[in-house]
């Protein structure tokens, strides 16, 4: 299966224009996470999704949000996938997956092989392996991925400089990019286009 690509941290109309032109497989919106500079108010999400190319899957990224709020935002906005990027437990992941009617990604902060092994217990459709809280541009020891037992998104410092190694060595379900496709803290049209083009050329 060809590795897919997700561009995360969209929040402006311009960002939608950029991804519509580049056509990644997924794009992520960080919702109700005020500590993130990529945070956006869910109230503005529906308008952005109405402009999004229907061939791109919109992912709502939540951090320790309560279940009912997540379900309401998904229902009202038209999100097609949920990413849980906090300390959500197995029961919460299971409940959201069974109730929301869309696939669920569970993010896991990786410091060792044991973190990857333990993640196999999450009842999510996909895992996402990252370094810390995400969006930092920092990577982790990818050799830990040898312990992965289910499809995963690979995040944490992924960019044009190391995408080839990531895809050809570990065959992730998808690579997840954010800071590497930004300039001065905002999404960069050329960097997004170049990243998607490189990924397509590899697979």
CA triple 21-24-29, angle to 5 deg: 100
Q: Is 145 helix (H, G, I), strand (E, B) or coil?
A: helix
Q: Which CATH number fits domain 4-202: 3.20.20.70, 3.40.190.10, 3.40.50.300, 3.40.50.620?
A: 3.20.20.70
Give the active site residues: 8, 130
Report the pLDDT averaged over residues 48-68: 98
The pLDDT score that the predictor gives to residue 154 is: 95
The pLDDT score that the predictor gives to residue 113 is: 85
Higher pLDDT, residue 30 or 203? 30
Report the pLDDT averaged over residues 69-77: 97
Contact status, residue 36 vs residue 30, Cβ threshold 8 Å: yes
So where are the chain's domains? 4-202
* CB-based contacts of 198, cutoff 8 Å, min separation 6: 160, 163, 164
Name the nearest CA neighbour of 59 among 140, 150, 126: 126
pLDDT tens, residue by residue, 135-150: 455 567 787 887 788 8
Contact status, residue 36 vs residue 56, Cβ threshold 8 Å: no
For the record, the structure tokens of 51 come out as 């402009």
Strand 57-62 relative to strand 81-84: parallel, antiparallel, unpaired?
A: parallel
pLDDT band at 28 (very low <50, low <70, confident <90, very high): very high
Report the pLDDT averaged over residues 80-99: 96
């Amino acid at each position: 299966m060809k590795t897919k690509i997700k561009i995360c941290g969209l929040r402006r109309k311009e960002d939608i224009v950029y991804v519509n032109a580049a056509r990644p497989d997924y794009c992520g919106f960080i919702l109700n996470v005020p500590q993130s500079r990529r945070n956006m108010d869910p109230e503005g999400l529906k308008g952005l999704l109405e402009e999004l190319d229907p061939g791109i899957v919109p992912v709502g990224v939540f951090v320790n949000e309560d279940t009912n709020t997540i379900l309401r935002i998904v229902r009202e906005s038209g999100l097609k996938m949920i990413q849980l990027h906090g300390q959500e437990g197995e029961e919460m992941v299971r409940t959201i997956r069974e109730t929301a009617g869309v696939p669920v990604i569970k993010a896991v902060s990786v410091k060792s092989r044991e973190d990857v092994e333990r993640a196999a217990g999450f009842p999510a459709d996909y895992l996402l392996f990252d370094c810390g809280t995400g969006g930092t541009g920092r990577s982790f020891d990818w050799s830990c991925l040898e312990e992965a037992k289910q499809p995963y998104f690979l995040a944490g410092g992924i960019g044009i400089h190391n995408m080839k190694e990531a895809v050809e060595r570990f065959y992730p379900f998808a690579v997840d990019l954010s800071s590497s496709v930004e300039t001065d803290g905002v999404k960069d049209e050329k960097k997004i286009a170049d990243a998607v083009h490189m990924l397509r050329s590899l697979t």
